[in-house]
Structure 1
Amino acid sequence: MPVCIIRNVRLLDKSESGTVTGDVAIRDGVIAEVLRGGAALIRNEAADTEIDGGGGLLIPGMIDVHIHGADGFDMMDGTARSLEAVSAACARTGCTSFLATSVSSSAEDLFGMLDSVARFIGNEAGARVAGVHIEGPYLNTKRKGMQNERYLRHPDLDEMKAILARAGSLIRMVTLAPELPGGLEMVAYLKERGIVVSVAHSDATYEEAKQAFRSGASHVTHCFNGMRPIHHRDPGVVVAAFEEPGVSVQAIVDDVHLHPAIVRLLYREKGADRMVLITDALQAMGMGDGSYLFGGHRVTVTDGVATLADGTLASSTITMNAALAKAVQAGIPLRDAVRMATETPAAVLGLTRKGRLAPGMDADLVLLDERFEVQWTMVDGAVVYRRAESSR
């Protein structure tokens, strides 16, 4: 079995500094040993490859449960080329697994996207496709955000059965508005099939949200965005989620969608084991300012902020490594911020071999420098991205 040893890296630790020097051994794409601090260095007699981490921070590969596109490519295009581009962009930004995420569309376009993922999965050169996140079309027009109202409709069990028949086990998460007619029935139907049901683009009241969580919803998509806001006489989805210990929430930590004080509030209320960092990125991620067609809308990106013509926020351009950096800047301890980008999304999706740097886990790893820039990314023990100017 091929053996790789990674030396001279900083590993997360419960010490006062939060990190400790260590070594990691990988055998046949799986983490075999993790030695921290004063532990004896891993012997290298049997090593096929040895990597010097140069003192960088080694963390598990990050997992993005909500991404629409990158590098000019939208996964709703229904092409392998778009998925290849997103896979490469994710690897470049420290993400090793992701959910290909749809937007509200015609059934024909959604089926085209699902078919493309089914054909592509298993052929990734970068980050792995962990499945599909269907965002819409069962969303409330009152909280539609950038979702195209033309395609929004009430939950339809017959349509969802056809979607699942087409996509099989690829569907890992569905975002919907549970207060719509048929919403609670859809929640229960998806929950029974092991699919994560998430609430967003919803005008649900506190009481309606609590009912949805009792029916099986367990997640909130881009929390605070696309939902009834908190009011002291009308607490809405967010407060209902805060009160449910089993409900996890997504956070777009880009200093645009959430103020840092709200990021800290989410962390205090839900903790690192129920808060998930996401990008919610559109194809402008990695491209810069300009004009893009996304979800049937013309989207303008200025200074990294994507909006429709009326000023509505239209997804994000943040990357996972930048979101991690901003979470730490907002005051979240490094160890917990990393957990929110790795272990917690893995737990939400039931990815039992990912998200932790421990023996027996898949060797999906990322080396970061002190600015959270990605030096290299490893998937299943193989380096799939290396920063050109890095000598590590």
Structure 2
Amino acid sequence: MIYCINATVFTGTEWLENASVGIADGRIQSVLPTPFEGNNETDTVIDFQGDYLVPGLIDLQLYGGSTWFLNEQPTPDTVRHIYGTHSRNGTTTLLPTIHSTSLEVMQQAMAAVQVVRSENPYGVPGLHIEGPYFNPIKRGAHSTAYVRTPAEGELEALFSTNADAIRILTLAPEILTPDQLTTIKNRKHDHTLLSLGHSNATYQQATDAFNTGFIPLATHLYNAMRGFESREPGVVGAVFDHPDVRASIIADGYHCDLAAIRIAHKQLGERLFLISDALFANPPRPEFTLGQFVVHYEADSNPQRPGCYVNDEGKLAGSAITLIDCVRVCVDRVELSLTDALRMASTIPADIIGLGDQLGAIRPGYVANLLRLNRSLTPISVWASGLQLPSPTNTAQ
């Protein structure tokens, strides 16, 4: 048994001071609100000296590790590399994400994730396919060579093999025909979630899509979607106005103004969650080219803050962070509570992907995916299924 003692524990709902957490067989065995020294001399006791012990973070949208990119190399080794890169900083569960590409590459990525999912079901529970079924007006940095409506038979082929690997599919519903939407509804796996994104839908179109219950999510709020205006509230207005839809947001200091994040949190509360949208991290790769997708890293003027990626058109093309950086931005710059920021990065996304009874909290019986943070919210140690991972890397440097 491993005992983490003298920890400031965030259970997912409350804080426990000077608490102890017992770990064995990959699971949390006990959460004690008082110091505990272990039962016998075979126990491993780790004194946290008041540091935070929080649930492992859960990132539902990221594309690459420190050097490999899923679109470029859709293989199991790339998926393992992505997990290794992000897990070192406390992201113990993630959905590798593939952006707009060919059907062949999507299928290769699905097969790759399926392999790693069988090895590491709570670390890589599935794939996020972002595109290519987008409104070209809101394609963002996605390549014009791939953004499209589905070809004849493409949707049937997409959902024919390894369909249960797809955990999230982001699309713009307004560019699809009723028959295509019906095909997706009938053929997608039960746990595949649709997310509205890269969309120029009107408020009414987006609301109609949300009201069906068929699309419960929105991808990276504000970015690559019709914004809020007085006479046309757009996709943003539809997300704000709907009682059930949940939205991801990129809190890296570039994709959204800090006030916009704060406003979104006031409007959505527990319906808002964090994603990193990371192209590369730990450290960020200086530049990358894949066909028409050409990006380079731009450092922040403050060396203590992460930079971002832009493409050759000058458009934002993704972040250069891991999810703990988003937590720090939310706490230090947006001025959200640490409780809210951690829930947005662990408890809420766990619930979204149907794993809220296994992940996103520190409770007996839950998977021992855990993160130790100091008071500056810098990762000190990470455990995945009870195993301590290599030392964290500070991505903000």
Fold similarity call, TM over 0.5:
yes
Give the superposition deviation at 1:21. 2.0
C-alpha separation between the residues in 2 aligned to 1:176 and 1:132? Answer: 14
Give the superposition deviation at 1:34. 1.0
Match of 1:87 in 2: 83
C-alpha separation between the residues in 2 aligned to 1:307 and 1:244? Answer: 32
1:344 aligns with 2:348: yes
C-alpha separation between the residues in 2 aligned to 1:387 and 1:214? Answer: 42
Residue aligned with 2:145, SS: helix
Question: Residue deviations 1:60-83, cap 9 Å, x none?
Answer: 000000011120110121123322
Would the aligned equivalents of 2:67 and 2:285 in 1 still touch at CA under 8 Å?
no
1:239 aligns with 2:237: yes
Cα distance 1:222–1:93, how it changes in 2: closer, same or farther (>3 A)?
Answer: same
The counterpart of 1:194, out of the listed 186, 191, 196, is 191
1:35 aligns with 2:32: yes
- Structure 2 unaligned residues grouped into runs of 5+: 300-306
Which stretch shifts more, 203-212 or 240-249?
Answer: 240-249
1:211 aligns with 2:208: yes
1:323 aligns with 2:326: yes
Taking the TM superposition and a 5 Å limit, the aligned residue runs for 1:357-376 are: 357-376=362-381
1:305 aligns with 2:308: yes
Question: Residue deviations 1:213-265, cap 9 Å, x none?
Answer: 02211111111001111111111111111122211110100110011111111
Taking the TM superposition and a 5 Å limit, the aligned residue runs for 1:1-392 are: 3-12=1-10, 20-36=17-33, 39=34, 41=36, 43-45=38-40, 48-76=43-71, 77-123=73-119, 128-155=123-150, 158-182=153-177, 184-185=181-182, 188-189=185-186, 193-215=190-212, 216-271=214-269, 273-283=270-280, 285-288=281-284, 290-294=286-290, 296-303=292-299, 304-329=307-332, 330-351=334-355, 352-387=357-392
Q: Give the letter for the 1:99 counterpart.
A: L
Give the superposition deviation at 1:108. 1.3
Give the superposition deviation at 1:266. 1.2
Which stretch shifts more, 207-216 or 191-200?
Answer: 191-200
Cα distance 1:281–1:157, how it changes in 2: closer, same or farther (>3 A)?
Answer: farther
C-alpha separation between the residues in 2 aligned to 1:134 and 1:250? Answer: 15
Give the superposition deviation at 1:359. 1.2
Q: Give the letter for the 2:314 counterpart.
A: G
Question: Residue deviations 1:334-369, cap 9 Å, x none?
Answer: 111101100100000001200111111111101011
Question: Residue deviations 1:127-164, cap 9 Å, x none?
Answer: 82110111111111000001111112224684233222
Cα distance 1:19–1:294, how it changes in 2: closer, same or farther (>3 A)?
Answer: farther
- Structure 1 unaligned residues grouped into runs of 5+: none
Would the aligned equivalents of 2:164 and 2:189 in 1 still touch at CA under 8 Å?
no
Question: Residue deviations 1:56-113, cap 9 Å, x none?
Answer: 1110000000011120110121123322221111111110011111111111111122
User: Which 4+ residue blocks in structure 1 deviate beyond 6 angstroms?
Assistant: 13-16
Would the aligned equivalents of 1:147 and 1:295 in 2 still touch at CA under 8 Å?
no
RMSD: 2.4
Question: Residue deviations 1:292-329, cap 9 Å, x none?
Answer: 12574110111122111121110111211111111112
Q: Give the letter for the 1:290 counterpart.
A: P
C-alpha separation between the residues in 2 aligned to 1:203 and 1:43? Answer: 58
Cα distance 1:170–1:9, how it changes in 2: closer, same or farther (>3 A)?
Answer: same
C-alpha separation between the residues in 1 aligned to 2:324 and 2:122? Answer: 14
Cα distance 1:254–1:241, how it changes in 2: closer, same or farther (>3 A)?
Answer: same
C-alpha separation between the residues in 1 aligned to 2:130 and 2:92? Answer: 21
With the length of structure 2 as denominator, give the TM-score of the two structures. Answer: 0.90
Among the aligned pairs, what percent are the same residue? 31
Give the superposition deviation at 1:375. 0.9
Q: Give the letter for the 2:100 counterpart.
A: S
What is the aligned residue count?
381
Give the superposition deviation at 1:117. 1.8
Question: Residue deviations 1:157-214, cap 9 Å, x none?
Answer: 8423322222131111110001113264356446773321101100000000001102
Would the aligned equivalents of 1:187 and 1:217 in 2 still touch at CA under 8 Å?
no
Cα distance 1:89–1:15, how it changes in 2: closer, same or farther (>3 A)?
Answer: closer
C-alpha separation between the residues in 2 aligned to 1:57 and 1:157? Answer: 52
Cα distance 1:50–1:164, how it changes in 2: closer, same or farther (>3 A)?
Answer: farther
